[in-house]
Chain A
Amino acid sequence: MSKPSIADKNTRSALQRLEFVPAQAAHLAWSASTNGASDRERAGWARQRVLDNLSHYLRKLEQSAMELGVNVHWADGAQDANRQVVEILRQYKTSDALRNHNALLDEIALDRACANNGIKLTHLHPGDHIAALASATRHHPVWPVVHLRAEEISEVVSQRYRVPRTHDPDILASTLRGPLRRTLLRTNTVLLGLDFAVAGNGALVCIDNDGHNANMVALARQAICLLSIENITADMADLHHLANVYARSAWGREMPAYLTSFDRPTAPGVDGPREIHLIFVDNRRSNILNSDIGEALRCIGCGACHNVCPVYQQIGGEAYGESPYAGPIGALINPILLQSSASARQPYLSSACAICKSVCPVNIDLPGLLNNQRQLMATEKPTFSQRLMFGIWRRTLTHPRLFRRLLRVYGRLRGF
């Protein structure tokens, strides 16, 4: 694997600011809560109890959804999921669709699949929309264009919508809002990556801080929902708890600004989709669940570990390959998710500083699991340099003078 390159200076300084803005906001929100530790514990437990009995909750959710009139589909991999989405869109004879801000849709590269099949997909989330206009990589799960400077955003918006350049975020947002809302009004089909689904009552849930999901659900005629199989909560109480800890860690709020929940097709004359499709996407999650790092599936995608990861702040999201998951959680799951030689050594993109562990709202032992993955790799596929280095290290452990001399040689190379 080639060494990951250092991100450019602007990206690095933008990613380092994450530590001072969202990470601080999250820190304050967690500090303001009187039961921070028990809230984390409860959130971790709410996720773990679903993972421990995943097939039970999947069946329960499938049953609840079908009873409410939702069409349920299952997809093994990304291709399968994309094929099913395209087939459903063809049934509706539509070539335009809207999508929300969601990592699963990025993970399966739904944008590319739609483009290849002549379907125009518009991002309703302003950040994602800007990223699409600028053809920029999204580096962060919550703040997709955090690495773009105001000048760059102003440039792409003014070029696309032929408006004067401005750095004023209010003017930029209202420039985008007009055309996006017009698209929203004329588009009948929406593609929604769900943040959660509730097994007990079949509620399909999206959370965001700008209301784009609520608008999509209210105005759509047909909703195609994609759910990664682990994003299930047992009941509404767990859902609300997880939504609140997500809001704390992602935005520094006590609760999400918008929690959009829907469960069944609506009757004519009532807002909401007349037809709902729910596609369960596995895409190697079963492999993760059955591996040593199953606990990683507790992740709710709040991005808190990204905000504090010093390695991620230097290399940015691009170093994690095609996956939308970067930072410690990306380094952990990408080798299984992507199954590529480029992603295999991502668990080494860590300084084992464990700061991510201290901010994770669902108590994932990220440094411990990353170490598990490194142990697996060191046993199964040790590199030549690793074998050489530790071969010498081990043989000289009982020879203190030689050990120190060799260490000094190494240090000289590194300038210690």
Chain B
Amino acid sequence: MRVSLLSSCYTQAFRPEIAEQMLNLGTLLGFEMVAQSKHTCCGLPAWDDGRRQDALVAAQQTVRLFDSFDQVIVSSASCYAMLTRQIPTLLGGTEYAEEALSLSQRCRDWSSFLLENVALSVPEFVFPGSITYFQSCRQLEPAATIALLMEICEAERLTTISQSCCGFGNNLTWRHPRISRNMADSVISSLRLTRSDVTVTDDMGCLMLLQNQSQQTRKMRIEHIATFVYGLLQESLQ
């Protein structure tokens, strides 16, 4: 089975190591993992901004680039939502309609891919501390990530923060940076209140903004779920 990683534009530009970790994990699980290096962006920023034509161009390119893969693993929850919800609508009625629908069906978010393909409930693979899962507002299917976290952490040490927005979406960091920063600060205050050892998220936008903004005050550990799982795996292998 040919599996490709669709890493978001932000992953590629700012956190390429996360794409590496995902590829490595996929390879360890025995998949032929391919990083589609020609891919740039799924079109979400343009779609959010009302630039339908621009979003259309990006969506067509994405659909074309990932047409030959059996499964497409998406690194960020917001891209996953774009690929499975918006792109089929956006390209509906065009020559790409079928491919768009097919891609949306072949897309998997990273947590469900991992959960389906690995038996994580081995004793070495348990995180001893407490975890807060910051559920991105774009994460429409959080069940897999929560189930994954519950495999590696006892339920009473896992906190989920949902129905909350970090302030990254809709190009707010560009249009209204002050509002965006304030929103992130307010989320960070809630995260600090949980007193968890680590905060994990599965959205690149939330990750970058929260990591960046939390450094303005007291440092805290915020990680992408792939980084977190990869770290645990490395520890257990040592």
A residues with a Cβ closer than 8 A to B are 3-4, 6, 12, 16, 308, 310-311, 313-315, 347-355, 358, 371, 373-379, 386, 389-390, 393-394, 396-400, 403-404, 407-408, 410-411, 414-416
Asked if B51 contacts A386 (CB within 8 A), the reply is yes
Give the top 3 A-B pairs by smallest Cβ distance, nearest first: A374-B50, A353-B137, A378-B50
A393-B45, A397-B61, A400-B37 known; A351 and B170 CB under 8 Å?
yes
Assembly CA distance A386 to B170 (angstroms): 13
In the complex, whether B9 has a CB less than 8 A from a CB of chain A is yes
Assembly CA distance A389 to B165 (angstroms): 24
What is the minimal beta-carbon distance from B76 to any residue of chain A, in angstroms?
14
User: Interface segment, B96-104, B115-123, B151-159, B179-187?
Assistant: B179-187
CB-defined contacts of B52 to chain A, threshold 8 Å: 375, 378-379
Assembly CA distance A403 to B61 (angstroms): 14
Among A16, A379, A390, A407, contact of B186 (Cβ-Cβ < 8 Å) = A16
Asked if A353 contacts B50 (CB within 8 A), the reply is no
Asked if B172 contacts A400 (CB within 8 A), the reply is no
Asked if B61 contacts A398 (CB within 8 A), the reply is yes
Q: Pick 17 A–B contacts, CB within 8 A, sort by A.
A: A3-B176, A310-B183, A348-B175, A349-B176, A352-B169, A353-B138, A355-B137, A374-B49, A379-B50, A389-B174, A397-B41, A404-B9, A404-B12, A408-B14, A411-B10, A416-B10, A416-B212
CB-defined contacts of A351 to chain B, threshold 8 Å: 137, 165, 167-170, 172, 180, 183
Asked if A378 contacts B40 (CB within 8 A), the reply is no
Most buried by B among A16, A377, A400, A410: A400
What is the minimal beta-carbon distance from A416 to any residue of chain B, in angstroms?
5
**CB 8 Å contact bits of B37-73 with A (1 = contact, 0 = none):** 1111100011111111010011001000000000000
In the complex, whether B238 has a CB less than 8 A from a CB of chain A is no
Which partner residue on chain A sits nearest B12 by CB separation? A404
Which partner residue on chain A sits nearest B209 by CB separation? A416
Asked if B164 contacts A310 (CB within 8 A), the reply is yes
Which partner residue on chain B sits nearest A407 by CB separation? B13
CB-defined contacts of A399 to chain B, threshold 8 Å: 40
Asked if B178 contacts A371 (CB within 8 A), the reply is no
What is the minimal beta-carbon distance from A23 to any residue of chain B, in angstroms?
9
In the complex, whether B208 has a CB less than 8 A from a CB of chain A is yes
What is the minimal beta-carbon distance from A192 to any residue of chain B, in angstroms?
36
CB-defined contacts of A414 to chain B, threshold 8 Å: 173-174, 177, 212
A355-B163, A371-B48 known; A416 and B183 CB under 8 Å?
no
Which partner residue on chain B sits nearest A5 by CB separation? B178
Asked if B183 contacts A311 (CB within 8 A), the reply is yes
What is the minimal beta-carbon distance from A347 to any residue of chain B, in angstroms?
8
Asked if B165 contacts A353 (CB within 8 A), the reply is yes
CB-defined contacts of A394 to chain B, threshold 8 Å: 46, 54, 57-58
CB-defined contacts of B167 to chain A, threshold 8 Å: 310, 351
Which partner residue on chain A sits nearest B183 by CB separation? A310
Assembly CA distance A6 to B178 (angstroms): 8
CB-defined contacts of A404 to chain B, threshold 8 Å: 9, 12-13, 40
Assembly CA distance A414 to B179 (angstroms): 13
CB-defined contacts of A398 to chain B, threshold 8 Å: 40, 61
Assembly CA distance A404 to B41 (angstroms): 10
Assembly CA distance A320 to B138 (angstroms): 25
Assembly CA distance A410 to B41 (angstroms): 15
Asked if B41 contacts A390 (CB within 8 A), the reply is no
Asked if B50 contacts A407 (CB within 8 A), the reply is no
What is the minimal beta-carbon distance from B136 to any residue of chain A, in angstroms?
9
Asked if A411 contacts B40 (CB within 8 A), the reply is no
Asked if B176 contacts A4 (CB within 8 A), the reply is yes
Assembly CA distance A377 to B170 (angstroms): 15
CB-defined contacts of B164 to chain A, threshold 8 Å: 310, 355
Among B14, B45, B49, B186, contact of A411 (Cβ-Cβ < 8 Å) = B14
CB-defined contacts of B176 to chain A, threshold 8 Å: 3-4, 311, 348-349
Which partner residue on chain B sits nearest A400 by CB separation? B40
Asked if B40 contacts A416 (CB within 8 A), the reply is no
Most buried by A among B12, B47, B170, B172: B170
CB-defined contacts of A416 to chain B, threshold 8 Å: 10, 14, 208-209, 212
A378-B51, A407-B10 known; A355 and B177 CB under 8 Å?
no
Asked if A315 contacts B41 (CB within 8 A), the reply is no
Among B170, B186, B212, contact of A415 (Cβ-Cβ < 8 Å) = B212
Among A4, A386, A407, contact of B49 (Cβ-Cβ < 8 Å) = A386
What is the minimal beta-carbon distance from A308 to any residue of chain B, in angstroms?
7
Assembly CA distance A313 to B190 (angstroms): 15
Assembly CA distance A155 to B214 (angstroms): 38
Asked if B179 contacts A400 (CB within 8 A), the reply is no
